[in-house]
């Protein structure tokens, strides 16, 4: 897609620090991040990786037999992804939450959606808009795996504290069943930073 997606203030720090972040992201693996929750990834099919970054997770999912639509709004991060993971099973798309308007126009129904370190960049109002848009892309009985950051906000970043229990309730109201929740310390050792990882299954059509 040649024209650029709209931007949010949360994109700026990723563009400015893309080279540093690419090295940091690639030093971890999908299994490092999700640990036991990786067991909830289904067996092959279509993935939408929202906030795909360098394509690290997209490449890991291709290795599991998936085709991946890697959605990443930051051009600098997409460039790293296309260089590091030039796999024909990964299709890159310039789009972003909360609307995902380009992705939704594609008419894809995914077996699995991944959102790693994305949700905390959205305001409460943006999260209300985003959730049904995400779920409209997921097949019934499809799985959603996500990680949410908690802790000090880096200089220049746009992040918000996400109350986890209210979010789980909102997700349940949209037809998502929580399969498992894990909490972990930051794998980069940043003081005060921790992560909540959640696996969901869609129980009804959005």
Q: What is the CATH number of the domain that holds 161?
A: 3.40.50.150
Q: Is residue 66 part of a domain?
A: yes
Mean pLDDT of 132-159: 94
Task: Please give the tally of structural domains in the chain.
Answer: 1
At 7 the pLDDT is 47
pLDDT band at 176 (very low <50, low <70, confident <90, very high): very high
Burial 52-75 (b: 16+ CB within 10 A, else e): bbbbbbbbbbbebebbbbbbbbbe
The residue ranges of DSSP E strands in 104-170, in sequence order, are 110-116, 138-150
User: Is 5 domain-assigned?
Assistant: no
Among 22-31, 34-43, 80-89, name the one with the lowest average pLDDT: 22-31
Q: Which residue has the higher pLDDT, 155 or 9?
A: 155
Q: Is the residue at 2 inside a domain?
A: no
> Does the pLDDT of residue 4 top 90, yes or no?
no
Residue 141 is assigned to a structural domain of this protein: yes
Any domain includes 4: no
Would you say residue 6 lies in a domain?
no
Task: Round the average pLDDT of the chain to a whole number and report it.
Answer: 90
Q: What is the mean pLDDT of residues 28-55?
A: 94
Q: Is pLDDT of 24 > 60? A: yes
Q: What is the mean pLDDT of residues 39-44?
A: 94
pLDDT at 22: 56
Tens of pLDDT, residues 42-100 = 998 999 999 999 999 999 999 999 999 999 998 898 998 999 999 999 999 999 999 99
pLDDT grade, residue 25 (50/70/90)? confident
Overall pTM > 0.85: yes
Give mean pLDDT, residues 127-146. 97
Between residues 111 and 18, the one the model is more confident about: 111
Query: Which residue segment(s) compose the domain that 59 sits in?
Result: 11-202
Q: Is residue 107 part of a domain?
A: yes
Per-residue pLDDT band at 2 (split at 50, 70, 90): very low
The sign of the CA dihedral 122, 124, 128, 129 is negative
CB 137 within 8 A of CB 115: no
Task: Tell me the average pLDDT across 176-197.
Answer: 94
Return the H-helix or E-strand segment holding 197.
strand 194-202
Residue 164's pLDDT is 97
Q: How sure is the predictor about 154, in pLDDT bands with cuts at 50, 70 and 90?
A: confident
> Which of 138, 130, 127 lies closest to 177, judged by CA?
138
Judge whether 178 lies within some domain. Answer: yes
């Amino acid at each position: 897609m040649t024209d650029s997606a709209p931007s949010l203030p949360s994109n700026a720090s990723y563009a400015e620090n893309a080279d540093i972040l690419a090295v940091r992201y690639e030093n971890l693996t999908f299994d490092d991040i999700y640990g036991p929750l990786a067991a909830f990834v289904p067996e092959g099919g279509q993935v939408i990786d929202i906030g795909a970054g360098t394509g690290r997770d997209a490449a890991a999912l291709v290795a599991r037999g998936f085709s991946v639509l890697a959605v990443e709004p930051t051009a600098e991060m997409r460039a790293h992804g296309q260089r590091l993971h030039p796999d024909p099973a990964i299709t890159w798309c310039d789009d972003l939450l909360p609307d995902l308007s380009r992705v939704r126009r594609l008419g894809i129904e995914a077996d699995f959606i991944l959102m790693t370190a994305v949700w905390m960049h959205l305001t409460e109002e943006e999260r209300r808009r985003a959730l049904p848009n995400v779920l409209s892309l997921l097949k019934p009985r499809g799985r959603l795996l996500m990680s949410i950051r908690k802790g000090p906000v880096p200089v220049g970043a746009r992040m918000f504290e996400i109350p986890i229990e209210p979010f789980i309730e909102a997700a349940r109201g949209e037809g998502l069943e929580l399969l498992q929740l894990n909490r972990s310390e930051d794998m980069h050792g940043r003081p005060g930073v921790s992560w909540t990882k959640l696996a969901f299954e869609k129980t009804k059509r959005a």
